[in-house]
Chains A and B, each alone.
Chain A
Amino acid sequence: MTLARRIIPCMDTDGKRVVKGVEFRGLRDAGDPAELAARYNHEGADELVVLDIAASRDHRPTFLETIRRVAAQLALPLTAGGGIRSVADARAVLRAGADKLTINTAAVHRPELLTEMAAEFGSQAVVLAIDARARPSVAGGWEVYVRGGHDAAGLDAVAWAQQGVAAGAGEILLTSIDRDGTRSGFDCALTRAVAAAVCVPVIASGGADTPAHFLEVFLTAAADAALAAGIFHDGSCSIQTVKRYLKEQGVPVRIEE
Protein backbone atom coordinates (compact mmCIF):
# COMPACT_ATOMS: atom_id res chain seq x y z
CA MET A 1 0.00 0.00 0.00
CA THR A 2 1.85 3.06 -1.27
CA LEU A 3 0.84 6.43 -2.52
CA ALA A 4 0.98 6.20 -6.31
CA ARG A 5 3.24 8.54 -8.23
CA ARG A 6 0.99 10.81 -10.27
CA ILE A 7 1.13 11.49 -14.00
CA ILE A 8 -0.45 14.84 -14.79
CA PRO A 9 -1.19 16.24 -18.24
CA CYS A 10 -1.12 20.02 -18.34
CA MET A 11 -3.10 22.20 -20.68
CA ASP A 12 -1.67 25.65 -21.20
CA THR A 13 -4.43 27.78 -22.65
CA ASP A 14 -4.84 31.28 -23.98
CA GLY A 15 -8.00 31.25 -21.88
CA LYS A 16 -9.98 29.40 -24.47
CA ARG A 17 -7.77 27.10 -26.58
CA VAL A 18 -4.89 24.84 -25.62
CA VAL A 19 -1.58 26.28 -26.81
CA LYS A 20 1.95 24.96 -26.74
CA GLY A 21 5.24 26.83 -26.88
CA VAL A 22 8.92 26.16 -26.42
CA GLU A 23 10.61 27.74 -23.41
CA PHE A 24 7.40 29.70 -22.81
CA ARG A 25 7.49 31.22 -26.34
CA GLY A 26 6.31 30.56 -29.90
CA LEU A 27 2.75 29.46 -29.09
CA ARG A 28 0.71 27.29 -31.40
CA ASP A 29 -2.81 25.87 -31.14
CA ALA A 30 -3.09 22.36 -29.66
CA GLY A 31 -6.85 21.83 -29.44
CA ASP A 32 -10.00 22.28 -27.40
CA PRO A 33 -9.45 21.94 -23.63
CA ALA A 34 -12.69 20.07 -22.94
CA GLU A 35 -12.04 17.55 -25.72
CA LEU A 36 -8.50 16.96 -24.48
CA ALA A 37 -9.76 16.66 -20.89
CA ALA A 38 -12.24 13.97 -21.90
CA ARG A 39 -9.43 12.08 -23.61
CA TYR A 40 -7.13 12.30 -20.58
CA ASN A 41 -9.95 11.25 -18.26
CA HIS A 42 -10.13 7.99 -20.24
CA GLU A 43 -6.42 7.53 -20.77
CA GLY A 44 -5.55 7.20 -17.10
CA ALA A 45 -4.43 10.69 -16.10
CA ASP A 46 -4.25 11.00 -12.31
CA GLU A 47 -5.09 14.68 -12.30
CA LEU A 48 -5.32 17.51 -14.78
CA VAL A 49 -3.86 21.01 -14.76
CA VAL A 50 -5.33 23.82 -16.84
CA LEU A 51 -3.53 27.14 -16.96
CA ASP A 52 -4.40 30.48 -18.45
CA ILE A 53 -1.00 31.60 -19.63
CA ALA A 54 -2.29 34.87 -21.08
CA ALA A 55 -3.93 35.67 -17.74
CA SER A 56 -5.24 39.06 -18.73
CA ARG A 57 -8.02 40.67 -16.72
CA ASP A 58 -10.42 41.17 -19.62
CA HIS A 59 -10.82 37.55 -20.61
CA ARG A 60 -11.28 36.16 -17.09
CA PRO A 61 -14.87 35.02 -17.75
CA THR A 62 -13.63 33.08 -20.79
CA PHE A 63 -11.15 31.12 -18.68
CA LEU A 64 -13.75 30.43 -15.98
CA GLU A 65 -16.01 29.03 -18.68
CA THR A 66 -13.10 26.88 -19.88
CA ILE A 67 -12.66 25.53 -16.33
CA ARG A 68 -16.36 24.69 -16.20
CA ARG A 69 -16.21 22.89 -19.56
CA VAL A 70 -13.10 20.94 -18.52
CA ALA A 71 -14.45 20.02 -15.06
CA ALA A 72 -17.61 18.66 -16.65
CA GLN A 73 -15.50 16.05 -18.46
CA LEU A 74 -13.59 14.81 -15.41
CA ALA A 75 -13.86 12.18 -12.71
CA LEU A 76 -10.41 13.32 -11.60
CA PRO A 77 -8.96 16.19 -9.59
CA LEU A 78 -8.55 19.44 -11.50
CA THR A 79 -6.02 22.17 -10.78
CA ALA A 80 -6.42 25.55 -12.43
CA GLY A 81 -4.34 28.69 -12.42
CA GLY A 82 -2.95 31.68 -14.20
CA GLY A 83 -3.76 35.23 -13.26
CA ILE A 84 -5.13 34.47 -9.78
CA ARG A 85 -4.39 37.61 -7.76
CA SER A 86 -6.83 37.52 -4.85
CA VAL A 87 -8.94 35.28 -2.65
CA ALA A 88 -11.92 36.38 -4.74
CA ASP A 89 -10.19 35.26 -7.96
CA ALA A 90 -9.38 31.94 -6.29
CA ARG A 91 -12.95 31.46 -5.14
CA ALA A 92 -14.23 32.02 -8.68
CA VAL A 93 -11.82 29.40 -10.01
CA LEU A 94 -12.85 26.83 -7.37
CA ARG A 95 -16.54 27.60 -7.90
CA ALA A 96 -16.04 26.98 -11.61
CA GLY A 97 -15.04 23.42 -10.75
CA ALA A 98 -11.34 23.34 -9.90
CA ASP A 99 -10.24 21.44 -6.79
CA LYS A 100 -6.94 23.23 -6.44
CA LEU A 101 -5.51 26.47 -7.71
CA THR A 102 -2.00 27.48 -8.64
CA ILE A 103 -0.53 30.83 -7.71
CA ASN A 104 2.71 32.13 -9.09
CA THR A 105 3.38 35.81 -9.73
CA ALA A 106 0.85 37.10 -7.20
CA ALA A 107 2.42 35.01 -4.42
CA VAL A 108 5.88 36.40 -5.19
CA HIS A 109 4.49 39.92 -4.93
CA ARG A 110 2.55 39.16 -1.76
CA PRO A 111 3.34 35.84 -0.01
CA GLU A 112 0.55 36.44 2.55
CA LEU A 113 -1.85 35.61 -0.27
CA LEU A 114 -0.87 31.95 0.23
CA THR A 115 -1.77 32.23 3.92
CA GLU A 116 -5.10 33.88 3.15
CA MET A 117 -6.00 31.24 0.58
CA ALA A 118 -4.97 28.36 2.85
CA ALA A 119 -7.11 29.80 5.64
CA GLU A 120 -10.05 30.13 3.29
CA PHE A 121 -9.83 26.93 1.22
CA GLY A 122 -7.35 24.67 3.06
CA SER A 123 -3.71 24.22 2.06
CA GLN A 124 -4.62 21.10 0.05
CA ALA A 125 -6.20 23.51 -2.47
CA VAL A 126 -3.25 25.88 -2.68
CA VAL A 127 -0.50 24.97 -5.14
CA LEU A 128 2.50 27.26 -5.38
CA ALA A 129 3.71 27.30 -8.99
CA ILE A 130 7.40 28.09 -9.29
CA ASP A 131 9.03 28.74 -12.66
CA ALA A 132 12.77 28.45 -12.22
CA ARG A 133 15.85 28.80 -14.37
CA ALA A 134 19.41 27.71 -13.57
CA ARG A 135 21.41 30.76 -12.48
CA PRO A 136 24.87 30.17 -11.03
CA SER A 137 24.71 33.66 -9.52
CA VAL A 138 21.82 32.69 -7.22
CA ALA A 139 22.77 31.03 -3.95
CA GLY A 140 20.86 27.77 -4.48
CA GLY A 141 21.58 27.63 -8.21
CA TRP A 142 18.06 28.35 -9.52
CA GLU A 143 16.24 31.66 -9.76
CA VAL A 144 12.48 32.21 -9.66
CA TYR A 145 10.86 33.84 -12.70
CA VAL A 146 7.43 35.45 -12.79
CA ARG A 147 4.98 36.74 -15.40
CA GLY A 148 5.07 33.59 -17.48
CA GLY A 149 8.82 33.21 -17.30
CA HIS A 150 9.55 36.79 -18.41
CA ASP A 151 10.92 38.48 -15.31
CA ALA A 152 13.56 37.36 -12.85
CA ALA A 153 12.14 37.72 -9.35
CA GLY A 154 15.48 37.84 -7.57
CA LEU A 155 14.53 34.84 -5.42
CA ASP A 156 16.29 31.55 -4.87
CA ALA A 157 13.89 28.81 -5.97
CA VAL A 158 14.60 26.43 -3.07
CA ALA A 159 14.28 29.14 -0.43
CA TRP A 160 11.10 30.45 -2.06
CA ALA A 161 9.58 26.95 -2.03
CA GLN A 162 10.26 26.71 1.70
CA GLN A 163 8.87 30.15 2.33
CA GLY A 164 5.78 29.36 0.26
CA VAL A 165 5.09 26.17 2.20
CA ALA A 166 5.55 27.98 5.50
CA ALA A 167 3.05 30.56 4.26
CA GLY A 168 0.43 27.91 3.46
CA ALA A 169 1.06 26.22 0.10
CA GLY A 170 0.12 22.53 0.21
CA GLU A 171 1.93 21.51 -2.96
CA ILE A 172 4.64 22.83 -5.30
CA LEU A 173 4.33 22.79 -9.08
CA LEU A 174 7.94 23.20 -10.12
CA THR A 175 8.69 24.05 -13.74
CA SER A 176 12.15 24.25 -15.22
CA ILE A 177 12.07 27.03 -17.80
CA ASP A 178 15.35 25.71 -19.21
CA ARG A 179 13.77 22.35 -19.99
CA ASP A 180 10.21 23.44 -20.84
CA GLY A 181 9.32 22.29 -24.34
CA THR A 182 12.82 20.97 -25.05
CA ARG A 183 11.95 17.28 -24.50
CA SER A 184 15.38 16.74 -22.97
CA GLY A 185 14.13 15.35 -19.65
CA PHE A 186 13.13 16.89 -16.33
CA ASP A 187 15.59 19.04 -14.40
CA CYS A 188 16.24 16.38 -11.76
CA ALA A 189 18.79 18.45 -9.86
CA LEU A 190 16.28 21.28 -9.40
CA THR A 191 13.47 18.88 -8.49
CA ARG A 192 15.65 17.01 -6.01
CA ALA A 193 16.76 20.22 -4.33
CA VAL A 194 13.19 21.46 -3.85
CA ALA A 195 11.69 18.06 -2.91
CA ALA A 196 14.36 17.64 -0.23
CA ALA A 197 13.69 21.11 1.17
CA VAL A 198 9.90 20.97 1.65
CA CYS A 199 7.48 18.64 3.40
CA VAL A 200 4.69 18.89 0.79
CA PRO A 201 4.28 17.05 -2.54
CA VAL A 202 6.32 18.35 -5.48
CA ILE A 203 5.16 18.11 -9.09
CA ALA A 204 8.07 18.13 -11.55
CA SER A 205 7.42 19.90 -14.83
CA GLY A 206 9.27 20.81 -18.01
CA GLY A 207 11.21 18.66 -20.43
CA ALA A 208 9.39 15.29 -20.48
CA ASP A 209 9.74 13.26 -23.64
CA THR A 210 10.12 9.55 -22.85
CA PRO A 211 8.91 7.13 -20.12
CA ALA A 212 12.53 6.95 -18.95
CA HIS A 213 12.41 10.68 -18.14
CA PHE A 214 9.52 10.03 -15.76
CA LEU A 215 11.34 7.12 -14.14
CA GLU A 216 14.40 9.28 -13.66
CA VAL A 217 12.55 12.11 -11.93
CA PHE A 218 10.71 9.71 -9.60
CA LEU A 219 13.74 7.60 -8.71
CA THR A 220 16.52 10.15 -8.58
CA ALA A 221 14.70 13.38 -7.70
CA ALA A 222 11.96 12.16 -5.29
CA ALA A 223 9.20 13.87 -7.26
CA ASP A 224 5.69 12.99 -6.09
CA ALA A 225 4.14 13.70 -9.46
CA ALA A 226 5.32 14.54 -12.95
CA LEU A 227 3.62 16.82 -15.41
CA ALA A 228 3.84 17.00 -19.18
CA ALA A 229 1.98 18.72 -21.97
CA GLY A 230 3.25 18.40 -25.52
CA ILE A 231 4.01 14.67 -25.58
CA PHE A 232 0.54 13.83 -24.28
CA HIS A 233 -1.28 16.35 -26.52
CA ASP A 234 0.29 15.15 -29.75
CA GLY A 235 0.21 11.50 -28.68
CA SER A 236 3.95 10.95 -29.17
CA CYS A 237 3.95 9.29 -25.73
CA SER A 238 0.72 8.18 -24.06
CA ILE A 239 -0.06 8.24 -20.34
CA GLN A 240 -0.63 4.48 -20.44
CA THR A 241 2.78 3.90 -22.04
CA VAL A 242 4.44 5.93 -19.29
CA LYS A 243 2.51 4.17 -16.51
CA ARG A 244 3.10 0.64 -17.81
CA TYR A 245 6.80 1.35 -18.06
CA LEU A 246 6.90 2.80 -14.54
CA LYS A 247 5.02 -0.19 -13.14
CA GLU A 248 7.47 -2.60 -14.80
CA GLN A 249 10.26 -0.64 -13.17
CA GLY A 250 8.65 -0.99 -9.75
CA VAL A 251 7.28 2.54 -9.37
CA PRO A 252 3.79 2.51 -7.80
CA VAL A 253 1.30 3.92 -10.31
CA ARG A 254 -2.45 3.68 -10.69
CA ILE A 255 -3.54 1.55 -13.62
CA GLU A 256 -7.27 0.90 -13.91
CA GLU A 257 -8.25 -2.48 -15.31
Chain B
Amino acid sequence: MSIAILEYGAGNPASVERAFERLGAATRRAATPQDLEGARAIVLPGVGHFGALARGLAASGLDAAVRAALAQQVPFLGICLGLQALYESSLEAPGERGFGIFRGTVVPLPAGVKLPHMGWNQLRPLRGSRLLLGLSPEAYFYFAHSYAANASGSEAAACVYGAEFAAVVELGSIFGVQFHPEKSGAAGAQVLRNFLECLS
Protein backbone atom coordinates (compact mmCIF):
# COMPACT_ATOMS: atom_id res chain seq x y z
CA MET B 1 0.00 0.00 0.00
CA SER B 2 1.37 3.35 -0.94
CA ILE B 3 0.68 6.98 -0.20
CA ALA B 4 -1.15 8.74 -3.01
CA ILE B 5 0.26 12.18 -3.76
CA LEU B 6 -2.34 14.23 -5.58
CA GLU B 7 -1.29 15.75 -8.88
CA TYR B 8 -3.61 18.41 -10.21
CA GLY B 9 -1.60 20.24 -12.85
CA ALA B 10 0.04 22.92 -10.72
CA GLY B 11 2.68 22.46 -8.07
CA ASN B 12 5.45 19.93 -7.94
CA PRO B 13 4.91 16.67 -6.10
CA ALA B 14 8.57 15.60 -6.47
CA SER B 15 9.91 17.08 -3.24
CA VAL B 16 7.08 15.59 -1.14
CA GLU B 17 7.65 12.28 -2.87
CA ARG B 18 11.36 12.36 -2.05
CA ALA B 19 10.69 13.35 1.57
CA PHE B 20 8.45 10.29 2.08
CA GLU B 21 10.89 8.05 0.26
CA ARG B 22 13.71 9.19 2.56
CA LEU B 23 11.53 7.86 5.40
CA GLY B 24 11.04 4.56 3.61
CA ALA B 25 7.40 5.13 2.65
CA ALA B 26 6.28 4.15 -0.85
CA THR B 27 4.37 6.78 -2.81
CA ARG B 28 2.47 7.01 -6.06
CA ARG B 29 1.19 10.01 -7.97
CA ALA B 30 -2.55 10.31 -8.26
CA ALA B 31 -3.91 12.22 -11.23
CA THR B 32 -7.23 10.36 -11.57
CA PRO B 33 -9.78 8.94 -9.09
CA GLN B 34 -8.64 5.41 -9.99
CA ASP B 35 -5.15 6.26 -8.71
CA LEU B 36 -6.62 6.69 -5.22
CA GLU B 37 -7.95 3.16 -4.99
CA GLY B 38 -6.40 1.25 -2.10
CA ALA B 39 -4.21 4.19 -1.07
CA ARG B 40 -2.87 4.02 2.45
CA ALA B 41 -3.18 7.78 2.72
CA ILE B 42 -3.70 10.82 0.53
CA VAL B 43 -1.33 13.79 0.48
CA LEU B 44 -2.24 17.11 -1.13
CA PRO B 45 0.92 19.19 -1.64
CA GLY B 46 -0.60 22.48 -2.67
CA VAL B 47 1.41 25.26 -4.24
CA GLY B 48 -0.06 28.24 -6.01
CA HIS B 49 -3.59 29.52 -6.29
CA PHE B 50 -6.69 28.21 -4.45
CA GLY B 51 -8.73 28.62 -7.63
CA ALA B 52 -6.24 26.65 -9.74
CA LEU B 53 -6.29 23.88 -7.14
CA ALA B 54 -10.09 23.70 -6.96
CA ARG B 55 -10.47 23.75 -10.75
CA GLY B 56 -7.62 21.27 -11.26
CA LEU B 57 -9.13 18.78 -8.82
CA ALA B 58 -12.60 19.23 -10.28
CA ALA B 59 -11.43 18.78 -13.87
CA SER B 60 -9.71 15.47 -13.13
CA GLY B 61 -12.56 14.10 -11.04
CA LEU B 62 -10.24 14.01 -8.03
CA ASP B 63 -12.40 16.49 -6.14
CA ALA B 64 -15.31 14.09 -5.70
CA ALA B 65 -12.98 11.16 -5.07
CA VAL B 66 -11.09 13.01 -2.33
CA ARG B 67 -14.35 14.12 -0.69
CA ALA B 68 -15.49 10.50 -0.65
CA ALA B 69 -12.16 9.38 0.80
CA LEU B 70 -12.31 12.07 3.50
CA ALA B 71 -15.84 10.95 4.40
CA GLN B 72 -14.47 7.42 4.81
CA GLN B 73 -11.69 8.66 7.09
CA VAL B 74 -8.90 7.73 4.68
CA PRO B 75 -5.84 9.40 6.30
CA PHE B 76 -5.10 12.74 4.66
CA LEU B 77 -2.33 15.31 4.87
CA GLY B 78 -2.77 18.72 3.26
CA ILE B 79 0.36 20.81 2.88
CA CYS B 80 0.27 24.63 2.56
CA LEU B 81 -2.55 25.26 0.06
CA GLY B 82 -3.51 21.66 0.86
CA LEU B 83 -4.32 22.73 4.42
CA GLN B 84 -6.33 25.67 3.10
CA ALA B 85 -8.32 23.28 0.89
CA LEU B 86 -9.60 21.61 4.07
CA TYR B 87 -11.57 24.77 4.91
CA GLU B 88 -14.88 25.80 3.37
CA SER B 89 -13.62 28.49 1.01
CA SER B 90 -10.92 31.08 0.35
CA LEU B 91 -11.01 34.76 -0.44
CA GLU B 92 -8.25 34.00 -2.95
CA ALA B 93 -10.91 32.39 -5.15
CA PRO B 94 -14.41 33.37 -4.01
CA GLY B 95 -16.96 30.93 -5.36
CA GLU B 96 -14.66 27.91 -5.31
CA ARG B 97 -15.40 25.31 -2.66
CA GLY B 98 -12.92 23.71 -0.26
CA PHE B 99 -13.41 20.29 1.33
CA GLY B 100 -15.13 21.89 4.33
CA ILE B 101 -13.61 19.62 6.98
CA PHE B 102 -12.83 22.71 9.03
CA ARG B 103 -15.21 25.64 9.37
CA GLY B 104 -14.22 29.00 8.00
CA THR B 105 -12.80 30.93 5.10
CA VAL B 106 -9.13 31.31 4.22
CA VAL B 107 -8.17 35.00 4.20
CA PRO B 108 -5.17 37.09 3.15
CA LEU B 109 -2.53 37.68 5.80
CA PRO B 110 -2.91 41.26 7.01
CA ALA B 111 -1.12 44.14 5.35
CA GLY B 112 1.61 45.69 7.46
CA VAL B 113 3.94 42.70 7.33
CA LYS B 114 6.08 41.69 4.37
CA LEU B 115 4.20 39.32 2.13
CA PRO B 116 4.43 36.50 1.23
CA HIS B 117 5.15 35.11 4.70
CA MET B 118 8.30 33.45 3.44
CA GLY B 119 10.88 31.73 5.54
CA TRP B 120 11.35 29.85 8.79
CA ASN B 121 9.01 30.45 11.69
CA GLN B 122 8.10 28.83 15.00
CA LEU B 123 4.76 27.46 16.17
CA ARG B 124 2.52 28.01 19.14
CA PRO B 125 1.24 24.55 20.08
CA LEU B 126 -2.32 24.94 21.34
CA ARG B 127 -3.11 21.37 22.31
CA GLY B 128 -1.64 17.90 22.09
CA SER B 129 -0.67 17.58 18.45
CA ARG B 130 0.12 14.19 17.00
CA LEU B 131 2.08 15.67 14.10
CA LEU B 132 4.33 17.67 16.43
CA LEU B 133 5.18 14.77 18.76
CA GLY B 134 8.82 14.83 19.82
CA LEU B 135 9.45 18.31 18.42
CA SER B 136 10.83 21.15 20.48
CA PRO B 137 8.68 24.30 20.75
CA GLU B 138 11.79 26.06 19.44
CA ALA B 139 11.68 24.13 16.15
CA TYR B 140 11.47 26.16 12.94
CA PHE B 141 9.39 25.31 9.88
CA TYR B 142 9.47 26.73 6.35
CA PHE B 143 6.46 28.79 5.27
CA ALA B 144 5.71 30.38 1.88
CA HIS B 145 2.17 31.77 1.65
CA SER B 146 0.09 34.93 1.57
CA TYR B 147 -3.26 33.44 2.63
CA ALA B 148 -4.10 31.57 5.82
CA ALA B 149 -6.95 30.33 7.98
CA ASN B 150 -7.45 32.53 11.02
CA ALA B 151 -6.68 30.75 14.27
CA SER B 152 -9.88 29.65 15.99
CA GLY B 153 -8.36 28.09 19.09
CA SER B 154 -9.27 24.59 18.03
CA GLU B 155 -6.23 23.90 15.86
CA ALA B 156 -3.26 21.82 16.98
CA ALA B 157 -0.81 24.68 16.52
CA ALA B 158 -0.87 28.27 15.41
CA CYS B 159 1.74 30.63 14.02
CA VAL B 160 1.85 34.39 14.35
CA TYR B 161 2.75 36.54 11.37
CA GLY B 162 0.76 39.74 11.17
CA ALA B 163 -2.09 37.69 12.63
CA GLU B 164 -2.42 34.38 14.41
CA PHE B 165 -3.28 31.68 11.90
CA ALA B 166 -3.79 27.92 11.81
CA ALA B 167 -0.42 26.22 11.26
CA VAL B 168 -1.37 22.63 12.12
CA VAL B 169 -4.91 21.25 12.04
CA GLU B 170 -5.90 17.73 13.05
CA LEU B 171 -9.27 16.00 13.09
CA GLY B 172 -9.25 12.23 13.46
CA SER B 173 -7.09 10.96 10.62
CA ILE B 174 -7.24 14.25 8.68
CA PHE B 175 -4.27 16.58 9.02
CA GLY B 176 -3.13 19.86 7.53
CA VAL B 177 0.06 21.90 7.87
CA GLN B 178 0.47 25.44 6.55
CA PHE B 179 4.26 25.05 6.41
CA HIS B 180 6.21 22.77 4.07
CA PRO B 181 7.44 19.74 6.05
CA GLU B 182 9.24 18.47 2.94
CA LYS B 183 11.38 21.62 2.97
CA SER B 184 11.76 22.03 6.72
CA GLY B 185 14.91 20.02 7.32
CA ALA B 186 15.00 17.53 10.20
CA ALA B 187 11.99 19.09 11.97
CA GLY B 188 9.88 18.67 8.84
CA ALA B 189 11.00 15.07 8.45
CA GLN B 190 9.82 14.43 12.02
CA VAL B 191 6.36 15.79 11.16
CA LEU B 192 6.12 13.41 8.19
CA ARG B 193 7.41 10.54 10.34
CA ASN B 194 4.66 11.33 12.87
CA PHE B 195 2.09 11.31 10.07
CA LEU B 196 3.33 7.88 8.98
CA GLU B 197 3.03 6.70 12.61
CA CYS B 198 -0.64 7.68 12.53
CA LEU B 199 -1.16 5.30 9.60
CA SER B 200 0.05 2.19 11.37
Residues of A within 8 A of B (CB): 1-4, 6, 41, 46, 71-72, 74-77, 94-95, 97, 99, 121-125, 170-171, 199-201, 224-225, 254, 256-257
Contact mask for chain B residues 135-154; partner A; CB cutoff 8 A; 1 contact, 0 none: 01001101011100000000
Chain A residues positioned under 8 Å from B142 (CB to CB): 46, 76-77
Chain A residues positioned under 8 Å from B26 (CB to CB): none
Contact B118 A171 (CB under 8 A): yes
Separation of A122 and B15 alpha carbons in the complex (Å): 18
Chain A residues positioned under 8 Å from B185 (CB to CB): 41, 75-76, 254, 256
Residues of B within 8 A of A (CB): 10, 12, 14-15, 18-19, 22, 47-49, 114-124, 136, 139-140, 142, 144-146, 159-161, 180, 182-189
Chain A residues positioned under 8 Å from B122 (CB to CB): 1-2
A46 to chain B, nearest CB (A): 6
Chain B residues positioned under 8 Å from A224 (CB to CB): 114, 119
Chain A residues positioned under 8 Å from B114 (CB to CB): 199-201, 224
A171 to chain B, nearest CB (A): 6
Instruction: Tell me what chain A mostly uses at the interface: helix, strand, loop, or mixed.
Output: loop
Separation of A1 and B123 alpha carbons in the complex (Å): 7
Most buried by B among A1, A121, A201: A1
B48 to chain A, nearest CB (A): 5
Contact B119 A3 (CB under 8 A): yes
Chain B residues positioned under 8 Å from A94 (CB to CB): 12
Separation of A121 and B136 alpha carbons in the complex (Å): 33
